[in-house]
Structure 1
Amino acid sequence: MTKKMIMFDIDGTLLDHEKKLPVSAKEAIKSLKEVGHEVAIATGRAPYFINDLRKELEIDSFVCFNGQYVEIEGEVIYKNPIDKELLMQLSDFSTSYDHPLVYMGAEFMKSNTGSHSEIEESLRSLFIDTAQLEVDANYYNNTEIYQTLLYCKEHEESSYRSNLGSLNFIRWHEFSMDVLPLGGSKAKGIEKFIEKKGFTKDQVYAFGDNLNDIEMLQYVGYGVAMGNAPEEVKKIARYVTKDVSENGIAYGLEMVGLLP
């Protein structure tokens, strides 16, 4: 057997629509490791939001912040923070529209505003408690920021894209977009990951379900879109499995021949 690398997104991929890990997915990942394959997480989440899941699945390597922060077995092997000057421009521009920001560092995230219903609702959809979310509008000045959450509606996106072309904007929620360094993606993080581990792209499989997974699914040798993914994600994937709530991970691994 040739050893493979399998990367899993979290929300809508490993975790179902209720943010629960299906038993079939947990058992499938255990089986992958038992036969000698390597498993890692590739998520838009911060490292501090995946600790419980990593512990449950016994996964010690991950690509976080949509590719901007990569850790392998406790060693940080790649960091791509957003330039501070660009964060200042983003802050000034978003403030002029009264659009909140949440700055995400490797250890903490902090908001540039007080309690805000859209921040609370979006993070609550990920089952993230915002009660302890601190306010620090200058957080980016003394901390490396790998991803920023921008709160604006879809019809307001174009003004950011046209005025802040050195940043990458990816919508993940009705109220919010991820803001990344230009060119930053899960694919870039996975590239650094597999270089370190010695895999080729043709030995790498990835499972994802949303717009921030497109580059990842295109980059790896075997991109698998979940059945619950939007059509534009399914179109670029090499394979499409079942919905996450219909044992999509286990079904997909069997479909691509990684599990019997």
Structure 2
Amino acid sequence: MTKKMIMFDIDGTLLDHDNNLPVSAKEAVRLLKEAGHEVAFATGRAPYFIQDLRKELEVDSFICFNGQYVEIENEVIYKNPIDRELLSDLSGFATTQNHPLVYLGAEFMRSTIDYHADIEESLTALQIDTTQIEMNANYYNDAEIYQTLLYCKEQDETHYRSNLQGLNFIRWHEYAMDVLPLGGSKAKGIEKFIEKKGFTKDQVYAFGDNLNDIEMLKYAGHSVAMGNAPEEVKKVARYVTKDVGEDGIAYGLQMVGLLS
């Protein structure tokens, strides 16, 4: 079989609803690598949020921050930080709305507020250690920021979209949105990845489950939406597998012919 590139989202795709890695998914990744295929993560998470999973699955390549930061075998091959002027505008507007922000750099995350219940709840649900977050409202002046978490309700979205048109907003939680550079997506990260590795789009198999996966699923030659994905995500995918909690990864890989 010709070598393929398999891109896995993490939350709700590789990790189940309790943020555990199903045994069947771990075995599937092992078999893919054993067959000579390339496996990488394509996630909205920061690199420091996926260290344990990288170690468990022995995966050394990843696309983080929804496509803004690409690392292949410990070499950073692409970075797309958010413009500092836009971050300043975002910070100022969020302050007037009393909405906290969390800035995500390549090494650290910093918050505009010392503590907020919504930040605690959303990140703890992903098993992210919130004690890593220190307060630094001007962190965007000190480091390159690849993604920002904006904490606001859905009814507040239009205010940000209309006032900050140079940024892209993607909701991932009842309380929170990812803020990205305009045009930034997992698809762009994959484009840079396969350009470096010499794959074609038709050799790419992408698995995802949420709104931030839509561009990736549209881009990949072979796209698989998880059974737990919203309908608008399933509609753009070439295949729909079972729920992540029902061995959806292993089943999906069998559907597309990568596992028997």
Q: Smaller-chain TM-score range?
A: over 0.9
Q: Distance between the aligned counterparts of 2:205 and 2:8, measured in 1?
A: 9
Name 2:120's counterpart in structure 1: 120
* 2:7–2:42 CA contact under 8 A, matched in 1: yes
Name 1:181's counterpart in structure 2: 181
Query: Would you say 1:108 and 2:116 are equivalent positions?
Result: no
Q: Distance between the aligned counterparts of 1:36 and 1:168, measured in 2?
A: 36
Specify the SS of the correspondent of 2:110.
Answer: strand
Query: Would you say 1:229 and 2:229 are equivalent positions?
Result: yes
Q: Distance between the aligned counterparts of 2:131 and 2:252, measured in 1?
A: 37
Q: Which whole-Å deviations, capped at 9, do the CAs of 1:170-203 have from their partners, x for residues lacking one?
A: 0000000000000000000000000000000000
> Stretches of 4+ moved more than 2 A in 1?
none
* 2:109–2:132 CA contact under 8 A, matched in 1: no
Aligned residue type for 2:95:
T
Name 2:10's counterpart in structure 1: 10
Q: Distance between the aligned counterparts of 1:100 and 1:170, measured in 2?
A: 16
Q: How does 1:219-258 map to 2 (within 5 A)?
A: 219-258=219-258
Q: How does 1:37-56 map to 2 (within 5 A)?
A: 37-56=37-56
Instruction: Kindly state the Cα deviation for residue 163 of structure 1 after the two structures are TM-superposed.
Output: 0.6
Q: Distance between the aligned counterparts of 1:190 and 1:217, measured in 2?
A: 11
Specify the SS of the correspondent of 2:70.
Answer: strand
Query: Would you say 1:194 and 2:191 are equivalent positions?
Result: no
Q: How does 1:200-215 map to 2 (within 5 A)?
A: 200-215=200-215
Query: Would you say 1:34 and 2:34 are equivalent positions?
Result: yes
Name 1:153's counterpart in structure 2: 153
Matched positions, count: 260
Q: Distance between the aligned counterparts of 1:224 and 1:19, measured in 2?
A: 20
Structure 1 gap ranges (5+): none
Q: How does 1:127-166 map to 2 (within 5 A)?
A: 127-166=127-166
Q: Distance between the aligned counterparts of 2:145 and 2:5, measured in 1?
A: 28
